[in-house]
Structure 1
Amino acid sequence: MRVALLTEGGYPSARGESVVWCDRLLRGLGNHEFEIYALTRSARQEESGWCDLPRNVARVCVAPLWGPASASESADGGGPDRPGFGRRERRRFEGHFRDLAETVCAADQEEGQRGAGSAASGGTHDGTAAAPRPTDAPPAAALTDRFASGLYGLAELARERSGLPAALRSEQAVRILEAACRAPGALRAAHSAQVADLLAVADRMERALRPLSLDWYGERGSGSGLAAADLCHAVGGGTAALAGLLAGRWYGTPLLLTEYGVRLREHYLASAADAVAPAAAGAPVRALLASFQRRLVRETYTRARLITPGNAHARRWQERCGARRDRLRTVYPGMDAAPFTEVGEKPPEPSGGGAGAGAGVRGHTLVWVGRIGPTKDLVTLLHAFTEIRRAVPDARLRIIAASPPPAGGGRSPEDTGDAGYTAHVRALAAQLFPPEPPGVRTLGTRTPGGSPVSFEEVGGPGLPSLADAYAAGGVVVLSSIVEGFPVPLVEAMFCARATVSTEAGAVREVIGGTGLVVPPRDSHALSDACLSLLRDPARRARLGAAARARALELFTAQQNIEAFRGIYLELMSYWQEGGRGGDGADGGGVPLPFARPPESHLPDQWPDQWPGTGDRGTGALAKGGAGAVPGWAGPAGWADDGSAPAMPVAASRQGEEDAG
């Protein structure tokens, strides 16, 4: 099977968690042929190079989403205000882009209902226009259809013109955006958009729509590009899946969408962070870009044949954004359990003194592992540890910074967190836990400067690997306020460690009763949960064993690979040939089993005559003479003339009985 893997900001780049997952998937599905179509987000990403590609990667195409479009695209595509555009093409562009712009700027009934309750019928208290009421706003389905019409219309025009980057940045495009922002029923934030805001929105939309102008698609029957792919697998929604949408529309190629972090949710979080940044984009820019992303994601969810979220938390987001429940299938991201096997299979350590003194200290040690940043809320963890320290004077807290590994193993070149936030957390720890007096003995626990809180990194002294980091304590803590799929928790479960976590993202789903879960930003609840485990080594051992069993059942790399192996076969077994309800479907438009088999992309150069019967499709391939395949020697056991070996009588009779 030929699979087109569509990525944005990830594979085949040399860094990131998604890169590790993609590399493992491709190597695990070595019987399939992959072509990589990657969109890069920055010059730094391109300069970082590629990871080592497996042998089953036949082709890699890379295009940037940063910086201006290439000179060739700008020259060929032109714009509606340039000589290359004819009058008819200009009208087509204006019509399609107007459909796109007006749906992006419009507030549908959902947005209207969200804002109408807080505004008077004539406007708000500050004089700005109120959000439209539900009865005034167009239905969401109508806007979705119009957005799709504009999007695919622009795609057809870009295909004819070899790209539209200049047109999407043209003065005419900005004027259409301005008119859409001023139209009745537009988003309230869009009414105040200035020229600088409109230019910024046009620039960002051109980058997001850049896949329309790429030469990735090819022609049907050409044997190259997305036209020859049996399946498009998009890793992430939004721009990464746009090429898959076009392949599905033009060639009927099924689209599989995998989201381990929901793209729309990530956009909302980034927009909220930008709102308080010193050089933040204005409210109109953020509102319009959020609307564009929402429309594009909804279209992707509508057209995708199957969507595989990484957890129930992501699945709920996808359902809210328009994904059909019957097209959603949760597939947990796989992780390599082998590095944690030795730690996980060790028997529980004793908690007493004597020969087990070191183990007793480890039992009273809390470990936090991850990439340090504001969303990890280490401030709450430090305040909780002050209460833990009062109840258990010999308790220790080890904060261990770790970054996602690159594909192929080893340490990532990324830094391990936010330097400013790390400095803030270190200063708070020094304030809450001043160095102990010189005469105090710390029982062998690594506490630089005599403090019960230490800051370390994986790969540093005493912690050569992640497994050593989790083995350094008896309880693993996660204090995040925002979390997707909690990778550190799964690693701790592989190591048979009891865990205390805040309820964020998919934490409760991953833990599944094998650890303690508390509300986020609640230092008292966090300290109480940690104390209950620090004081009960038997309970720690039971929870750790249950956690390891759950992780080995649900979260291994092999489980993930086998799930996608079955999904690939399932999607290929029901192919609607020809796209748009083509000839591979029955009269009702239902896909037929194996309407396009995996070998259909092979060149149609079969011999004119097949020996044995004289008809194509039966008999054995000859080694020579008319209609022979050059260089083909036939399977082992076949005769020199290319004929099949004689079938044993018993096997022949059995075949006749089966056929009868």
Structure 2
Amino acid sequence: MRIALLTESTYSNAQRGDGWCGRLADGLVEHEFQLYLLARGERTDPVGPSPERPPVRGLSAVHELAMWGRRPAGHRPSAHRRRLYRKAYEQLVRALVLPGERASFGPGLYRLAELARTDGGLPAFLASGHAQRVLERVWRSPGADTAAGRPLVRDVLVAADLLEQCLRPLSADWYGTGPAGIGSADLCHVVGGGPAALPALVAKQLHGIPFLVTEHGLHLREQYRSYRTAPYRWPVRALLLSFFRQLTGETYRQAAVLTPGSAYDQQWQQRCGAEPDRIRVVHEGTPAVAREAAGAEPESPTLVWAGALEPGRDPELVLHAFARIREELPGARLRMYGEEGVPGYRAHCVAVAERLGIAAAVRFEGRPGSPAEAWQAGRLVVFSALAQRSPRLLADAMLSGRAVVATDVGVAREVVGPTGLLVPPRSPTALAGACLALLGDEERRARLGLAGRLRAQERFAVEPEATAFREIYLELVSRWPAFPAGERLQPFARPAEYWVAGAAQSGPPAGPTAGESTSGEAAGRGAPASGALAEAV
């Protein structure tokens, strides 16, 4: 079948062979994948394969839409069409700022997409003064969520520009039924959520194509985190977060299946309105499962910590716990791997180590050449985060065969399970006690390390992930109509012969003329098979 992969990333990260999209296409070679990319970063390499970068097996084509920078070309809509755009845009904006009109988000969104597909005037309208005046009037109306913030004129201009960029996928030239169009796909697979779901929502409305959503870390949650430090006034941030919140809700309502990367993300999806019976946890596979375990332990009792140097990772907790460990094991060492996540935070950690009197035993290594290099350097691995949202780093450490001690937050309990030690966050005493217990028991360290490696290999292998999506694809397509025909959906509109080599180029089979047999339709209604099919049965 033909799968449309929709994702929001830089081109190189989404297309490269070791990326998630490339691994999925490589693992399901029986399907044809086309990548539809919302590019947020500046691309320095040309679209398509090159001698330096061979094509990824399974990706038959790559289509790209720039999300930032100059808006797409398009003519200004006529006065009549402009009134239609204004009405649909006002419906959308009212859903963002008026609590009583949240339900109008979807209709306003689809109406804008319909108008954009008809005349291509959406980019010009969203950048016009007409759209800015609609936004300002609704935003300042009584009862608006952000009315107390008294948005300034500059807020309106900034927010209008940001909304135009967020809505840019509605005006992409992807929605036809030709070879490059999403309309020719059997299924849409949204990777990451957010604006990448907009083409899937439009394709479902136009062509009745089902879609599923895979999130390895929730897009809405990351937007809330990033907008805390965004360079905009708070009314602008509130408006944009309302857009992402409404988009997430509409995506979860319309998706046939949601596949979060962890049960922790599953709980967040349910809190955002997703129906539990449409959620299936599919752990993200990693090629690191084939990597050999770390070699012999270092001679001195050494702890390894890895992560960004920022308050959320709480490296101070490790430093305070290590000071207690040094009281029991004077020869202990601590190696901390990771780049500075907050300016000046590395110097702060160095000052904390000096104040605790452990600076001589602590080494800030920076970014390692590879994660395996970091795990090799210690006898056990320590994680001290206040919120562990992604299982990837934990799983990679477990694959090394080193014992793991982690704070019991986020996905830690789900990933580590009984193969490591979990301690409460912000408790240096508990963390130091767990580390001392393992440093003093070589047999227990080896047993937990081996158990953790086997657990990670079982849960995060690439093959089970590909198998899970193979089954989901087949299930969705088998119970979803192939083509909408007016108001009445006709299942099995594409017979098996359509996919025979050469037949697909000739288009869907024409309906029978007067006097011809309609055995295909009769068979679709349950009549006996005839001809070669009857003989085969």
Whose helix fraction is larger, Structure 1's or Structure 2's? 2
Aligned partners of 1:537 and 1:418: how far apart in 2?
A: 36
Match of 1:521 among 409, 426, 429: 426
Q: Do residues 90 (structure 1) and 82 (structure 2) align?
A: yes
Could you say what secondary structure the match of 2:137 adopts? helix
Matches within 5 A, 1:46-65: 46-47=43-44, 52-65=54-67
What's the CA shift string for 1:102-157, capped at 9, x where partnerless? 110112xxxxxxxxxxxxxxxxxxxxxxxxxxxxxx3xxx623x111110111111
Q: Do residues 453 (structure 1) and 362 (structure 2) align?
A: yes
Q: Do residues 424 (structure 1) and 426 (structure 2) align?
A: no
Superposition deviation, residue 430 in structure 1: 4.5
What's the CA shift string for 1:320-348, capped at 9, x where partnerless? 111111111100000123553243xx6xx
Letter in 2 for 1:53: P
Superposition deviation, residue 604 in structure 1: 3.5
Call closer, same or farther: CA 1:161–1:454 in 2, change over 3 Å. same
Call closer, same or farther: CA 1:178–1:89 in 2, change over 3 Å. same
Q: Could you tell me which residue of structure 2 aligns to residue 229 of structure 1?
A: 185
Contact 1:105 1:190 (8 Å CA) reproduced: no
TM-score (norm 2): 0.87
Aligned partners of 1:158 and 1:66: how far apart in 2?
A: 19
Letter in 1 for 2:256: R
Q: Could you tell me which residue of structure 1 aligns to residue 130 of structure 2?
A: 172
Letter in 1 for 2:373: D
Q: Could you tell me which residue of structure 2 aligns to residue 143 of structure 1?
A: 102
Could you say what secondary structure the match of 1:517 adopts? strand
The alignment-based identity, stated in percent, is 43
Superposition deviation, residue 527 in structure 1: 1.9
Superposition deviation, residue 583 in structure 1: 4.1
Contact 1:189 1:287 (8 Å CA) reproduced: no
Could you say what secondary structure the match of 2:273 adopts? coil
Call closer, same or farther: CA 1:571–1:333 in 2, change over 3 Å. same
Superposition deviation, residue 482 in structure 1: 2.9
Letter in 2 for 1:143: R
Q: Could you tell me which residue of structure 2 aligns to residue 289 of structure 1?
A: 240
Call closer, same or farther: CA 1:324–1:163 in 2, change over 3 Å. farther
Aligned partners of 2:497 and 2:348: how far apart in 1?
A: 59
Identify the range of structure 1 (321-330 vs 365-374) with the bigger mean alpha-carbon deviation: 365-374
What's the CA shift string for 1:283-322, capped at 9, x where partnerless? 1111111111111111111111111000111111111111
Matches within 5 A, 1:1-16: 1-10=1-10, 12-14=11-13
Aligned partners of 1:477 and 1:580: how far apart in 2?
A: 58
Match of 1:195 among 153, 169, 172: 153
Matches within 5 A, 1:219-258: 220=177, 222-258=178-214
Aligned partners of 2:30 and 2:509: how far apart in 1?
A: 26
Aligned partners of 1:333 and 1:148: how far apart in 2?
A: 30
Q: Could you tell me which residue of structure 1 aligns to residue 265 of structure 2?
A: 314
Superposition deviation, residue 580 in structure 1: 9.0
What's the CA shift string for 1:328-375, capped at 9, x where partnerless? 1100000123553243xx6xx6xxxxxxxx7552xx211123444443
Contact 1:101 1:180 (8 Å CA) reproduced: yes
Letter in 1 for 2:19: V
Letter in 1 for 2:7: T
Superposition deviation, residue 174 in structure 1: 1.8
Aligned partners of 1:47 and 1:180: how far apart in 2?
A: 40
Letter in 1 for 2:247: L
Q: Could you tell me which residue of structure 2 aligns to residue 105 of structure 1?
A: 97
Q: Could you tell me which residue of structure 2 aligns to residue 550 of structure 1?
A: 455
Contact 2:6 2:36 (8 Å CA) reproduced: yes
Letter in 1 for 2:119: R
Contact 1:575 1:595 (8 Å CA) reproduced: no
Aligned partners of 2:508 and 2:155: how far apart in 1?
A: 59
Q: Could you tell me which residue of structure 1 aligns to residue 33 of structure 2?
A: 34
Superposition deviation, residue 60 in structure 1: 1.0
Identify the range of structure 1 (257-266 vs 526-535) with the bigger mean alpha-carbon deviation: 526-535
Aligned length: 511
Q: Do residues 367 (structure 1) and 304 (structure 2) align?
A: yes
Q: Could you tell me which residue of structure 1 aligns to residue 291 of structure 2?
A: 340
Superposition deviation, residue 15 in structure 1: 7.7
Contact 1:340 1:491 (8 Å CA) reproduced: no
Q: Could you tell me which residue of structure 2 aligns to residue 210 of structure 1?
A: 168
User: Which ranges of structure 1 fall in alignment gaps of 5 or more residues?
Assistant: 79-83, 108-137, 275-279, 350-357, 402-414, 436-450, 586-591, 609-613, 619-643, 645-654
Call closer, same or farther: CA 1:539–1:195 in 2, change over 3 Å. same
Call closer, same or farther: CA 1:482–1:607 in 2, change over 3 Å. closer
Contact 1:481 1:520 (8 Å CA) reproduced: yes
Aligned partners of 1:596 and 1:431: how far apart in 2?
A: 72
Letter in 1 for 2:245: R
Superposition deviation, residue 53 in structure 1: 3.1
What's the CA shift string for 1:61-115, capped at 9, x where partnerless? 1111111203x23xx2x2xxxxx423x21221121111101110112xxxxxxxx
Contact 2:293 2:401 (8 Å CA) reproduced: no
Could you say what secondary structure the match of 1:308 adopts? strand
Q: Could you tell me which residue of structure 1 aligns to residue 525 of structure 2?
A: none
CA RMSD of aligned residues (A): 3.1
Q: Do residues 562 (structure 1) and 467 (structure 2) align?
A: yes
Aligned partners of 1:60 and 1:557: how far apart in 2?
A: 23
TM-score (norm 1): 0.71
Aligned partners of 1:184 and 1:567: how far apart in 2?
A: 46
Call closer, same or farther: CA 1:189–1:339 in 2, change over 3 Å. farther
Call closer, same or farther: CA 1:560–1:422 in 2, change over 3 Å. farther
What's the CA shift string for 1:13-51, capped at 9, x where partnerless? 2489997222211111122211111111132xx126776
Aligned partners of 2:195 and 2:121: how far apart in 1?
A: 16
Aligned partners of 2:46 and 2:362: how far apart in 1?
A: 38
Aligned partners of 1:214 and 1:333: how far apart in 2?
A: 30
Contact 2:310 2:340 (8 Å CA) reproduced: no
User: Which ranges of structure 2 fall in alignment gaps of 5 or more residues?
Assistant: 48-52, 511-515, 521-531
Call closer, same or farther: CA 1:154–1:328 in 2, change over 3 Å. same
What's the CA shift string for 1:149-208, capped at 9, x where partnerless? 110111111111214112112222122222222223310456511111111111111100
Letter in 1 for 2:312: T
Q: Do residues 468 (structure 1) and 373 (structure 2) align?
A: yes
Call closer, same or farther: CA 1:178–1:19 in 2, change over 3 Å. farther
Letter in 1 for 2:440: R
Letter in 1 for 2:123: P
